């Protein structure tokens, strides 16, 4: 009986991948990795956009709640323009709401207290009316600050993602009645 050891080796004429096979494999891998990266970026951007929208909505609701509470309790409107309201508050102090277009902020001023209610506010407008409605479901405009019993406020705030302004909250608008 003869025992021979056999060596396992590859055949000498068989080699690795050819250049065209390697190029196709790299192309397929690049397409797969590109698709995964694109989906990841889209998901991250959507996540940030939803966070920004929730933050804008919370800030708008908070500002509107504070303004509604304050304006309803005032004694009357002292002066008015499209970006500033000055009230005589129930404690005889002055209550002022000021929109600064250059700083894009809405600020509440009462005595020595200063509170920024909205930041990154692209547009804000105040308007005044009388309390009684007309036949067209609108309110009669007030000709002076002393006649104003209805304050109409509207604003639009936005945020940026990666330097582009993509998150814009729809315009918030409210009609607030001075009760006194």
- The reply to whether 12 falls in a domain is no
- The reply to whether 69 falls in a domain is yes
- The reply to whether 107 falls in a domain is yes
What is the rounded distance in angstroms from the CA atom of residue 158 to the CA atom of residue 170?
A: 9
What is the rounded distance in angstroms from the CA atom of residue 117 to the CA atom of residue 115?
A: 6
SS3 163: coil
- The reply to whether 34 falls in a domain is yes
Instruction: State the number of CA atoms in the 13 A half-sphere of 138 facing the CB.
Output: 7
How many of the other CB atoms lie within 10 Å of CB of 83? 14
- The confidence score (pLDDT) of residue 124 equals 93
Instruction: Indicate the number of domains in the chain.
Output: 1
- The reply to whether 74 falls in a domain is yes
User: Mean pLDDT of successive 10-residue segments in the chain (180 residues)?
Assistant: 62 70 93 95 86 86 92 91 91 92 94 91 90 78 85 88 70 84
- The reply to whether 37 falls in a domain is yes
pTM: 0.75
Domain hosting residue 55, numbered range: 19-177
């Amino acid at each position: 009986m003869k025992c021979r050891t056999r060596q396992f080796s590859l055949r000498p004429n068989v080699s690795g991948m050819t250049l065209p096979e390697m190029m196709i494999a790299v192309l397929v891998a690049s397409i797969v990795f590109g698709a995964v990266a694109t989906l990841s970026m889209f998901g991250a951007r959507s996540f940030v956009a939803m966070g920004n929208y929730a933050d804008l909505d919370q800030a708008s609701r908070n500002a509107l709640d504070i303004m509604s509470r304050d304006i309803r309790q005032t004694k009357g409107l002292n002066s008015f323009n499209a970006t500033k309201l000055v009230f005589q508050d129930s404690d005889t102090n002055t209550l002022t709401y000021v929109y600064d277009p250059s700083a894009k902020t809405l600020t509440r001023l009462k005595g020595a207290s200063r509170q920024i209610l909205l930041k990154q506010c692209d547009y804000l407008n105040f308007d005044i009316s009388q309390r009684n409605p007309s036949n067209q479901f609108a309110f009669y405009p007030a000709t002076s600050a002393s006649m104003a019993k209805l304050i109409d406020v509207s604003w639009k705030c936005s945020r940026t993602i990666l330097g582009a302004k993509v998150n814009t909250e729809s315009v918030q608008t409210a009609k607030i009645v001075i009760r006194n």
